[in-house]
Amino acid sequence: MSLPPFDSRDGWRPPIPVRVERLPHAEGIELPSFATAGAAGADVRAAVDEELVIEPGRLALVPTGLKLQVPEGYEVQVRPRSGLALRHGITLPNSPGTIDADYRGELQVIMMNLGTELFRVRRGDRIAQLVLARVDRLTWVVVDSVDETARGTGGFGHTGTA
């Protein structure tokens, strides 16, 4: 696959190719796509054959019908869609989910209904967004103590702001 040349005028680097296999139950469903030119996440769609109903307080595993081949050194993060969260109380309880470079199973999205009404997932509905992120390897260095900071052990709202 040939990449377009980098154009520093628009601020974007060339796209990273991610191979995708469309499974039979995803035929006719649009591949993940960016809703706007500046969007960081590509909307991924449900590949359900029949309407799936998620009751309040319940979870559902929603298929996308896609297998991804994420390049080494990257992950694909699966994140909630803000509109579903605001209007319906729909979230992803393990957000952000991670699709590792060595995972080859179907991308499925764990959805949770925190709202008060039934939520219906229909074929082709946008259910989550996918963000490609670089992953750097780390190595653990065991020391007798870590450096002190002004913050110290303060956490979980210690600054008094939400």
pTM for this entry: 0.85
What is the rounded distance in angstroms from the CA atom of residue 114 to the CA atom of residue 94?
14
pLDDT at 3: 47
Candidate from 9-13, 40-44, 113-117, 128-132 with smallest mean pLDDT: 9-13
* Residue 148 within a domain: no
Taking the alpha carbons at both ends of the chain, their separation in whole angstroms is 45
pLDDT at 134: 96
* Residue 117 within a domain: yes
- Written as six digits, the tokens of 11 are 């601020």
CATH of the domain at 27: 2.70.40.10
Chain mean position to CA 138: 22
Q: What is the mean pLDDT of residues 142-159?
A: 86
* Residue 14 within a domain: no
* Residue 76 within a domain: yes
* Residue 159 within a domain: no
What is the rounded distance in angstroms from the CA atom of residue 156 to the CA atom of residue 81?
25
The rounded percent of the chain whose pLDDT value lies above 70 is 90
Query: Is residue 24 predicted with pLDDT exceeding 60?
Result: yes
Domain region containing 44:
21-134
Stretch (H or E) spanning 77: strand 74-79
Stretch (H or E) spanning 43: strand 42-45
The contacts found for 5-10 with CB under 8 angstroms, 24 or more apart, are none
* Residue 36 within a domain: yes
User: Is there a cis peptide before residue 96, judged by omega within 30 degrees of 0?
Assistant: yes
Q: Which amino acid is at 114?
A: L
* Residue 147 within a domain: no
pLDDT band, very low/low/confident/very high, at 7 (cuts 50, 70, 90): low
Average pLDDT across the chain, whole number:
92
Q: What is the pLDDT of residues 46-88, one digit of tens each?
A: 999 999 999 999 999 999 999 999 999 999 999 999 999 999 9
Q: How many domains does the chain have?
A: 1
pLDDT at 135: 96
pLDDT band, very low/low/confident/very high, at 37 (cuts 50, 70, 90): confident
Candidate from 34-38, 83-87, 106-110, 111-115 with smallest mean pLDDT: 34-38
Query: Is residue 162 predicted with pLDDT exceeding 60?
Result: no
* Residue 93 within a domain: yes
